[in-house]
Structure 1
Amino acid sequence: MNPNMFIKLIIDLIMTESMLVAMAYHITGNMIHELVGVFLFVLFIVHNILNRRWYKTIFRGKYKVQQILSIAVNLLFLITIAVALISSVPISRDIFPFIRINNDMVMRQIHVLSAYWGFILMAVHIGISWGRIINAARKMTGIITTSRVRTIAFRLLAVLIVVYGVQISFERDMGSRLLIYNPFGYWGFDETAMRFVIDYLSIMGIYICGTHYTLKYIQKHEKAKS
């Protein structure tokens, strides 16, 4: 595998894990949340530096569905993460306590809102690149042959993840977290870290699978037309 691609995959994996840790504010506490936020900021910059060539491709070539979706999602993801990071500074209690503002509820709402939209867009972003991720994983593990049984098994697993993800989205009131009117929603203060990770990975699974298979269908439809 190309060393640069390997580094990008590792950084993306660390970013995803860090995002999950940052979302688990009620489990980790404020200090860890803020430290992870700073770490995410650094990774965010590194990620954009490593993928700087992508910005040059925005105005090149024909705009197919996947390219349009990729551009829109990536730019929105960039904006939401930037807003989440910027809004975190004035509400910081540990790392930047000297920058705090009075009556910071609006800023907190913006921070939570942008963070949750960033989480969703991150999952869609992964879904767009899922084919490349799978191919890279195959090369790393030495799996070069296709298997009908393995394909069916993974698709069944994907269905189970999506079904559970939809259920848990309602239980956790994810919809209200994406609305500025009630961004805080439900907090399970007594839940374990493992439960949190499983639930949020399942929620990510909805958007990863949905994006991946929608794009596959569109590509198949476009090939049939041509």
Structure 2
Amino acid sequence: MNRKMLFKLAVDLAMTILMLIEMAYYITGNTVHEFLGVIVFVLFIVHIFLNRRWFGTILKGKHNMRRILQIVLNLLFLAAMAVMIICGILISSDLFSFIQVNDDMIFRQIHVQTAYWGFIIMAVHVGFSWGIIINSVRRMTGIVSTSLIRTIGLRVLAALIVFYGVYASFEREIGFKLTVYNPFGTWVNDDTAIKFIIDHLSIMGIYICGTHYALKFIQREGQTATQK
């Protein structure tokens, strides 16, 4: 793996981890939340710069179902991140407290909801690239051969993650947070940092696994149709 690709993966991983921590507002507190938000913003700009050539290829080449979905997904993620960051600056009470708005409740609600939508879209985005990520990890660890036991073990683990992720989604009312006006969000009373991370990683797992295997199914069906 070349250094540029490794740097891209490092930036994406850092942004994903920080986005996850940013969701834990009631654990980190406002100052840390805003400080990490600035870092996410910088990493997001770096991410766009590293992938700037992609924008010039949107209308070029062949557009199959996978590519159309990926373009729409990337643009939605870009829009969600932009709106979330702008609203975050407008409602800031620490780092950007010099910016005053008359009624920040609307911006607070938009910030919260776009954060959760961005979280889901980010997970789907990772799912689109999961095959590339797995291949990169294999090259870095020197794993070149296939193993039936390893494959079965990983799929069982994925199933358990998805199962718990569905439970965590209901417990944390993710659907409610995505659709209902609730400017402060909701919180699980017995929450801890470890439980929060496990729950949200599992919720991400639903969309990562779902996207990855859905794309594999679409690819397999496309190959079958071509052979016929």
Using structure 1 for the length normalisation, give the TM-score.
0.97
Letter in 2 for 1:65: M
Query: Is 1:97 the equivalent of 2:97?
Result: yes
**Per-residue Cα deviation, 1:54-78 (whole angstroms, up to 9, x for no partner):** 1122111111111011101000000
1:122 corresponds to: 122
Q: 1:216 to 1:127 in 2, by over 3 A?
A: same
Q: Is the Cα contact below 8 Å between 1:77 and 1:122 reproduced in 2?
A: yes
Distance 2:174 2:184 in 1: 9
1:58 corresponds to: 58
What is the Cα deviation at residue 108 of structure 1? Answer: 0.4
Count residues with an aligned counterpart.
226
Q: 1:189 to 1:97 in 2, by over 3 A?
A: farther
What is the Cα deviation at residue 185 of structure 1? Answer: 4.2
Q: Is the Cα contact below 8 Å between 2:108 and 2:183 reproduced in 1?
A: no
Question: Which runs of 5 or more residues in structure 2 are unaligned?
Answer: none
2:201 corresponds to: 201
2:87 corresponds to: 87
Using structure 2 for the length normalisation, give the TM-score.
0.96
Q: Is the Cα contact below 8 Å between 1:15 and 1:43 reproduced in 2?
A: yes
CA RMSD of aligned residues (A): 1.1
1:212 corresponds to: 212
Question: Which runs of 5 or more residues in structure 1 are unaligned?
Answer: none
What is the Cα deviation at residue 184 of structure 1? Answer: 4.2
Bigger mean CA offset, 89-98 vs 55-64: 55-64
Letter in 2 for 1:10: A
Bigger mean CA offset, 148-157 vs 181-190: 181-190
Q: Secondary structure at the match of 2:98?
A: helix
Letter in 2 for 1:61: G
Distance 2:180 2:191 in 1: 25
Distance 1:55 1:149 in 2: 41
Letter in 1 for 2:142: G
What is the Cα deviation at residue 182 of structure 1? Answer: 3.2
2:111 corresponds to: 111
Query: Is 1:22 the equivalent of 2:22?
Result: yes
Query: Is 1:144 the equivalent of 2:144?
Result: yes
State the identity %: 59
**Per-residue Cα deviation, 1:94-117 (whole angstroms, up to 9, x for no partner):** 001111323311110000011110
Bigger mean CA offset, 183-192 vs 36-45: 183-192
